[in-house]
Amino acid sequence: MKYVRYARYVLLALVIAMYVRGVAQETPEGVTIHVIQRGETLYSIAISYGVRVNDLARLNGIVNVGNIQIGQRLLVPTGEVDRPSVPDTHVVQPGETLRSIANFYGLSMEDVAVMNEIANPNTIYVGQKIRLLADSTPQATAEVVETANAPAETVPPATPDTQIVPTPTTEPVIPTETPPTAAPEESSNLVHVVQRGETLFRIAQQYGQTVNDLTRANSIGDPTLIYAGQRLIIPGYEAPEVAVDLPTPFTSIDVTPQTLVEGKTVRFRVSTAVPTLISGVFLGRELSIGSDETHTLHTILQGIPLFTEPGVYPLELVAVGMDNGETAGYSLNVQIVAGPYGREYIRLLAGRDGLLDPAVEQAELTLLENVTRPFTEPRYFEGQMGLPAAATIISPFGTRRSYNGGPFDRFHSGTDFAGAPGTPIIATAPGRVVLADTLNVRGLATVIDHGWGIYTGYWHQSQQNVQVGDVVTTGQVIGTIGSTGRVTGAHLHWELWVGGVPVDPMQWVQFAFL
């Protein structure tokens, strides 16, 4: 019996020896093999070997630098690796730290901190310009606002209003357009590996492409027929070199836009390597988060309240693995700037001054807050919003307003469209009607829930064509323009709420947040 056991040991030793010799023969010259251990990231591995994350990614065919697995075998270059030339400045990207940026360029974090007058390395924020050379100009640093001091109220101190402008203001109203995204420069092609639940439309948006660009580059006949694991060529796109250092299970974080504006919407998109439950806090609010069916792609849509003080604010995230229960936290600093909002003078129609009563305003506002607070499923909307009427914009979102010669103590919480009484009002996206009622200030009003905390409101109608519970489609006529409520004449006031906050609806016409 002992001879049989001995023979088994000998056989096992021979198998191991043959495997090791085979591995050694398969390993190319100038590289070594690293087996990924629990808790390691591609960034930490790169630092331990004195190489760049992008070098490891290219050598191992890794598209998503955050998506690596325990036990995965990595080829690591052992020879001299050329570091990138050091530019004058580096713009901080989501997931980067001051240390990872310094290491990426072969610099000392302490030297970079001194050069940029950064006392605390944890205070850098997305979009900040970091000076890397002594003769370059750094971006002014800003103090991170503690969450406890961040605005937590849905509506700022000034009272929201919904009126058109009867008299032109002496101060010009500045349009609040979102600058277009720059087209990617011509470069070598990138390969994207399709993940479960992704669509060609979503992938195209991620890289600033069109669906037609991807179908032509990959000879795809039917854009709906793609599958998980499929490798897609992204034409003319080169992934930027970044120094991402994220804790497991986070693999990537995207912030759009990178500089936030009061009164606008921000999208945080988080990817995880394994199915994960994500929770978070921003501006003193608990965030509602939409996840795909795999629970590896998580989307946060949140409005930035008007009158939020300009500054740098932390986004606090917590990830809990659905399979193992492991918990990880991550904090990301983002900058909020003031919006370009003007002023308007309003003269109400005779007999409607009573609708300026703060008690009347607050009661109606509380009703709207309750209606627009829930985060619901399913998500009805896809892509950009349409316009609510074939009419001219006469008053943009965010303007500060003076009524009947009084102080500028109210703000415009939506966008106004001029229109003759009876002009059709159409739904700007699919959704379910959650309010169809007559209100004091807003008149005949309709609110549509588009899912995931996104609501649109249509005020001052002369006629309603829908009722609570109706499911509507984009372009469906839901009512007609009128002059009910606190108005100076017939018009449509269109409003959009995101995460319990009224925001500029025209941003959603110009940009697709999914």
Output the pTM of the full model.
0.73
**Domain coordinates in residue numbering, the chain:** 2-77, 89-141, 190-234, 250-337, 341-510
Superfamily of domain 190-234: LysM domain (3.10.350.10)
Phi-psi region of 88 (alpha: psi -120 to 50; beta: other; left: phi over 0): alpha
Amino acid identity for residue 119 in this structure: A
pLDDT at residue 166, as a whole number: 35
pLDDT at residue number 141: 58
Pairing state of beta strands 250-256 and 265-272?
Answer: antiparallel
**250-337 shares the fold of 89-141:** no
Which structure tokens are listed for 97? 């730290």
Note the residue count of the chain: 514
In the chain (514 residues long), the average pLDDT of successive 10-residue segments reads: 49 46 53 83 79 77 72 80 76 91 88 94 94 72 57 45 38 36 43 74 76 87 83 72 82 91 96 95 97 94 96 97 94 94 76 75 94 96 93 93 78 94 97 97 97 97 98 98 91 97 96 86
- Extract the tokens encoding 113: 């901190």
Q: Is 469 exposed, middle or buried (0-12, 13-18, 19+ CB in 10 A)?
A: exposed
User: What pLDDT, on a 0 to 100 scale, did the predictor assign at position 316?
Assistant: 98
Backbone angles phi, psi at 18, to 5 degrees: -65, -40
- The SS3 call for residue 302 is strand
Beta strands in 152-206 (DSSP E): 159-161, 190-193
Query: How confident is the model at residue 232, as a pLDDT?
Result: 86
What DSSP character marks residue 2?
H
Strand partners, 426: 477
Q: Give me the sheet containing 343-346, strands edge to edge.
A: 159-161, 408-412, 400-403, 343-346
Q: What is the DSSP string of 125-158?
A: -TTPEEE-STTSPPPPP-PBPPGGGS---SS-SS
Taking CA atoms, 407 is separated from 158, 263, 330, 404, 459, in Å, by 11, 21, 43, 9, 24
Displacement of CA 246 from its chain's centroid (Å): 17
The answer for 510, left when phi > 0, alpha when psi is -120 to 50, beta otherwise, is alpha
Number of CB atoms found within 10 A of residue 457's CB: 24
CATH 3.20.20.80 is held by the domain 2-77: no
DSSP 264-292: SEEEEEEEESS-EEEEEEETTEEPP-EE-
| Architecture of the structural domain at 250-337 | Sandwich (2.60)
Contact 342, 399 (CB under 8 A): yes
CA atoms of 393 and 401, how far apart (whole Å)? 17
What's the 3-state SS for 425-485?
A: EECCCCEEEEEEEEECCCEEEEEEEEECCEEEEEEEEEEECCCCCCEECCCCEEEEEECCC
Q: In whole angstroms, give the CA distance from residue 329 to residue 172.
A: 45
> What is the pLDDT, as a whole number, of residue 160?
57
Reading the block at residue 130, the tokens are: 């970091």
- Second CATH level (architecture) for the domain 89-141: Roll (3.10)
Residues 6+ apart with CB under 8 A from 305: 151, 153, 154, 155, 156, 262, 263, 283, 501
CATH number of 341-510: 2.70.70.10
